[in-house]
């Protein structure tokens, strides 16, 4: 019995570490915007959205890691239910908030002159302000942290709710349906909430997006997340297989049934 409890605890710790590490890194690297088309060697998409905005697939670098968070959410959901997802989601919000508080404090520290001097030039001889670059990169992330975390929590709660509603219909079968379905539903909300809060509701008037731009960029982001969620579905089955072997099939099935029974409500 003790061995099973230890395995269950170890499993949650590993999944929680994967979840937290990727969520925190996604927030930190999210300040870089990259061109998906250029990265893949294609021409810009030039999509005309709502008759006002012509958009390409220019995405935050955070989308590289968020799919890992989505998959981990579904695995935690499957084996630990609503309480497991809520626990790690709330902890993640606390730790990400703490990280950005520390970043804000650190950027206010007076830089050492020798550090500025040895980093004062680029390889091609141009002047370079290392302190300005450091602050610019990290504080950009802090500027959208409120929108990101609110969207994250709403998305996580919705993911849990939809996942277990679908599980009631499918039982233990059709993992792909409940995992992909819950991710697509939660990310539909997440894609628009973060943009609305960060670039419309809380943005200065000089940089505030219009509602049409929020919707247009949100659609682009969701298209990407939709495709990635479908493409990564096989990883869920691999993770499921490894966990079932680790816990033992009987204990694994019992853990999933307990998770399903305790996860019927939204909150």
In this model, does residue 2 exceed pLDDT 60? no
At a CB cut-off of 8 Å and minimum separation 6, what does 266 contact? 157, 158, 160, 161
What interhelical angle do 66-107 and 249-261 show, nearest 10? Answer: 70
The whole-number pLDDT of residue 4 equals 59
In this model, does residue 55 exceed pLDDT 80? no
pTM score: 0.83
Query: Phi, psi (5° rounding) for residue 23?
Result: -65, -45
Residues above pLDDT 90, as percent of the chain: 18
* Rounded distance between C-alpha atoms, residue 211 and residue 216, angstroms: 9
Tell me the average pLDDT across 62-76.
86
Tell me the average pLDDT across 166-186.
80
Of 184, 225, 236, give the one whose Cα is nearest residue 75: 236
Choose between 122 and 20: higher pLDDT.
20
* Rounded distance between C-alpha atoms, residue 137 and residue 147, angstroms: 18
Choose between 255 and 48: higher pLDDT.
255
Question: How does pLDDT run across 80-109, given as a tens digit for each residue?
Answer: 988 899 999 999 999 999 998 999 999 999
* Rounded distance between C-alpha atoms, residue 144 and residue 141, angstroms: 6
At a CB cut-off of 8 Å and minimum separation 6, what does 213 contact? 52, 53, 199
The whole-number pLDDT of residue 11 equals 92
The whole-number pLDDT of residue 78 equals 87
Residue 128, Ramachandran bin (φ over 0: left; ψ between -120 and 50: alpha; else beta): beta
* Rounded distance between C-alpha atoms, residue 167 and residue 188, angstroms: 20
């Amino acid at each position: 019995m003790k061995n099973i409890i230890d395995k269950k605890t170890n499993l949650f710790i590993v999944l929680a570490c994967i979840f937290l590490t990727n969520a925190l890194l996604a927030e930190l690297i999210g300040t870089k915007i990259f061109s998906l088309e250029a990265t893949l060697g294609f021409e810009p998409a030039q999509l005309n959205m709502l008759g006002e905005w012509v958009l390409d697939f220019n995405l935050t670098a955070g989308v590289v890691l968020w799919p890992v968070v989505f998959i981990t959410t579904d695995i935690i959901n499957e084996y630990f239910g609503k309480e497991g997802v809520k626990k790690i989601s709330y902890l993640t919000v606390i730790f990400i908030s703490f990280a950005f508080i520390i970043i804000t404090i650190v950027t206010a520290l007076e830089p050492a002159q020798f550090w500025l001097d040895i980093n004062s030039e680029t390889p091609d001889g141009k002047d370079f302000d290392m302190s300005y670059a450091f602050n610019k990169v990290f504080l950009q992330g802090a500027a959208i942290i409120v929108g990101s975390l609110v969207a994250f929590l709403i998305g996580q709660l919705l993911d849990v709710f939809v996942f277990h509603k679908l599980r009631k219909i499918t039982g233990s079968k059709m993992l792909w349906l409940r995992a992909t379905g819950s991710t697509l539903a939660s990310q539909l909300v997440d894609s628009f909430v973060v943009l609305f809060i960060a670039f419309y509701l809380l943005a200065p008037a000089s940089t505030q997006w219009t509602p049409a731009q929020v919707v247009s960029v949100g659609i682009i982001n969701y298209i990407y997340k939709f495709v990635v969620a479908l493409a990564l579905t096989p990883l869920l089955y691999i993770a499921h297989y490894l966990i079932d072997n680790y816990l033992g099939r009987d204990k694994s099935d019992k853990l999933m049934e307990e998770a399903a029974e305790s996860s019927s409500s939204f909150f």
